[in-house]
Amino acid sequence: MITIESLTRTYGDFTAVDDVSFTAEAGRVTGFLGPNGAGKSTTMRVLVGLTPPTRGSATILGRRFAELPNPGREVGVLLDASAQHAGRTGREILTIAQRTMGLPKSAVEETLAKVSLTATEADRRVRNYSLGMRQRLGIGTALIGDPEVLILDEPANGLDPAGIRWMRDLLRGFADQGGTVLLSSHLLHEIEVIADDLVVIGQGRIVAQGSKQELLAAAGTLARADEASALHGALADKGIAATVSIDGAVRTDADPAAVGQIALAAGIALTELRPADGAGLEEMFLELTAASQREGHTDTTEGAAA
């Protein structure tokens, strides 16, 4: 289990993470979502002891990362697959992890098989690996200690469709056996397929969290018209709150039938009208983060990266 309570991280006048609280439960995959610069990576760095918090706490299995007696045996971490030593072979990197954790030598071969790296690939230097192979090696390094918790930042980067399916099945199996998975990814479809719970962050603050079913079911009604602003105004005239997302969709908690009747009375032709719970994670994400997009934001502090 992962517990983050009132976590804040500042860099001078810049607040990268602002009073963030959430939990990732055992036996479940928690998707951690947000635009670039939202605070995802800063939160994960604090969680694994790479960045100290300004305020608040982040614990794994009830302890701070630095307090874990043999961290690799309790939590597997992949934050940057490209950070591996380019001059070593994949087998050497796993062997170092095996020795550091006090694991039997057999753990190296078992892990190579688990992440589908062949003997030839394992003996190749990492500088000659594709990004997908580096991701497999990074996931292997996270798994070799047979941990209870996995913390993964963009683990599907560089994987082909078969590799993404492999990773999905691996993480689903890990959670189904009682493990805790905290997964950050910009591949919203993959998160939608695999996640049990969702935490959405924008500009350093949590904007939504809950089970995937709860968040998608709470999406209300989605409508589209050639003049989205006119539809928004007609709803407002009837006292119905609505929002217009960046892609022009109008969302409201009102019943679809009521939205249709209001549009008809106002002479507004609808091009789409349906319950938004079928809209999927992407539309929900865009709506929740529309006011907190940081595309184009450039900040050279460590915490400015997502």
Tell me the Ramachandran region of residue 220: left when phi exceeds 0, alpha when psi lies from -120 to 50, beta otherwise: left
CA 187, CA 33: separation in Å to the nearest integer? 10
Identify the pLDDT of residue 303.
43
For 91, 103, 118, 214, 299, the CA distances from 109, given in Å and listed in that order, are 8, 12, 10, 41, 42
**Cα dihedral 2, 135, 176, 205 sign:** positive
This prediction has a pTM of: 0.77
Q: What are phi and psi of 273, to 5 degrees?
A: -155, 120
- At 215-257, the pLDDT tens digits run 776 667 889 999 999 999 999 999 998 888 777 889 888 888 9
User: CA–CA separation, 65 vs 22, rounded Å?
Assistant: 17
Query: What value does the mean pLDDT take over residues 99-128?
Result: 96
Question: What confidence tier does 305 reach under pLDDT thresholds 50, 70, 90?
Answer: very low
Nearest to 155 by CA among 207, 117, 215, 115: 115
Task: Check residue 243 and give its pLDDT.
Answer: 86
For residue 218, what are the CA distances in angstroms to 50, 208, 274, 284, 286?
36, 11, 13, 10, 15
Domains and CATH numbers, the chain: 2-209 (3.40.50.300), 220-279 (3.30.70)
Name the band, by pLDDT with cuts 50, 70 and 90, for residue 213.
Answer: confident
**pLDDT score at 297:** 45
